[in-house]
Amino acid sequence: MRKPVIAGNWKMYKTIAEAMDFIEKIVPVAAAARHCEVVVAPPFTALAAAALAAKGSKVAISAQDLYWDKEGAHTGDVSPTMIVDAGCTHAIIGHSERRHDHGETDEQVNRKLKAALAAGLTPIMCVGETLAQRESGGTGQVLKTQFEGGLAGLTPSDFSRIIIAYEPVWAIGTGRTATPEMAAESHHVLRDLARAKFGDKVADGVRILYGGSVKPDNIGGLMAQVGIDGALVGGASLKVDSFTSLINYPGA
Ligand code: PGA
């Protein structure tokens, strides 16, 4: 059985005080939600405070990115060791906003994934096609390229520690969600890629989350699909009420 994961990606939102206040309110919600794992990804500045507020609870704290070296002359970057030191257990890697705003490549995603695993973090690796790629029929190929490039050189045992997030770029922050059927189809493609590369057992165990304009009123339909194992949520994860509804999605 794959335990669903409901993850909030706060992007560049919330001060330290706002993050702590939110986490304190979500701790009892996560404690009562036995059906899923709850992950919150605050900005770097709030990670340590959020982790303190979440200590001993069922709320896991994630970074939104990391750099692959342990330390060094890399102005503005944050290492996996530092992220663990701040109290994180997860790290989002290869989010489309990193890929598009910062030109992040599959090769860099791969280095980040390996560094995250080496530091004991659970990577949440994001993949997804743009609107132009979807409209030209290229979705399957894009997913294959990102999947294989990002996961190059990993063993089945490494892969079993990773969470995948399918996030079609055209659905992120646009209010335009993939239909449950469209999302399920891409999840199926990804699980088949996992099967071919890492074998049945690992492929059947990997959690594949959907992300892109997930809201309390559409999460139920998405989660009802076999093969959708949770959600990575941006905008709707910023308010306690809405994130609570997502954790307790219809059918949970
Ligand atoms: P959104 O963002 O829910 O605001 O569309 C999702 C994400 O980027 O992870």
The domain that contains 232 carries what CATH number?
3.20.20.70
Amino acid at 58: K
Query: Are 39 and 60 within 8 A, CB to CB?
Result: yes
**8-state DSSP, 15:** -
20 touches ligand 1 (CB under 6 Å): no
Q: Whose CA is nearest to atom 6 of ligand 1?
A: 234
d(CA 229, CA 128): 16
Query: Are 92 and 164 within 8 A, CB to CB?
Result: no
CA dihedral of residues 72, 78, 82, 87 (deg, nearest 10): 180
Query: Are 134 and 201 within 8 A, CB to CB?
Result: no
Residues in the chain: 252
d(CA 44, CA 66): 10
The tally of domains found in the chain comes to: 1
194 touches ligand 1 (CB under 6 Å): no
Mutate to test the pocket of ligand 1, among 9, 170, 245 (most ligand atoms within 8 A of CB): 9
Q: Whose CA is nearest to atom 3 of ligand 1?
A: 234
* Residue numbers of the domain that contains 175: 5-247
Distance 182 CA to ligand 1 centre (A): 17
Contacts of 161 (CB under 8 A, 6+ apart): 117, 122, 123
212 touches ligand 1 (CB under 6 Å): yes
pLDDT tens-digit profile, the chain (252 residues): 899 999 999 999 999 999 999 999 999 999 999 999 999 999 999 999 999 999 999 999 999 999 999 999 999 999 999 999 999 999 999 999 999 999 999 999 999 999 999 999 999 999 999 999 999 999 999 999 999 999 999 999 999 999 999 999 999 988 888 899 999 999 999 999 999 999 999 999 999 999 999 999 999 999 999 999 999 999 999 999 999 999 999 999
Q: What is the pLDDT of residue 176?
A: 86
Query: Are 211 and 166 within 8 A, CB to CB?
Result: yes
CA dihedral of residues 19, 20, 26, 30 (deg, nearest 10): 100
Distance 81 CA to ligand 1 centre (A): 26
**Coil, helix or strand at residue 68:** coil
Catalytic site residue 167? yes
Is residue 241 a part of any domain in this protein? Answer: yes
Is residue 252 a part of any domain in this protein? Answer: no
Q: What is the pLDDT of residue 98?
A: 97
168 touches ligand 1 (CB under 6 Å): no
172 touches ligand 1 (CB under 6 Å): yes
Structure tokens at 144: 């294959």
Distance 199 CA to ligand 1 centre (A): 30
Structure tokens at 217: 């009123």
183 touches ligand 1 (CB under 6 Å): no
Is residue 223 a part of any domain in this protein? Answer: yes
Q: Which atom of ligand 1 is nearest to the CA of 215?
A: 3
Catalytic site residue 35? no
Query: Are 84 and 120 within 8 A, CB to CB?
Result: yes
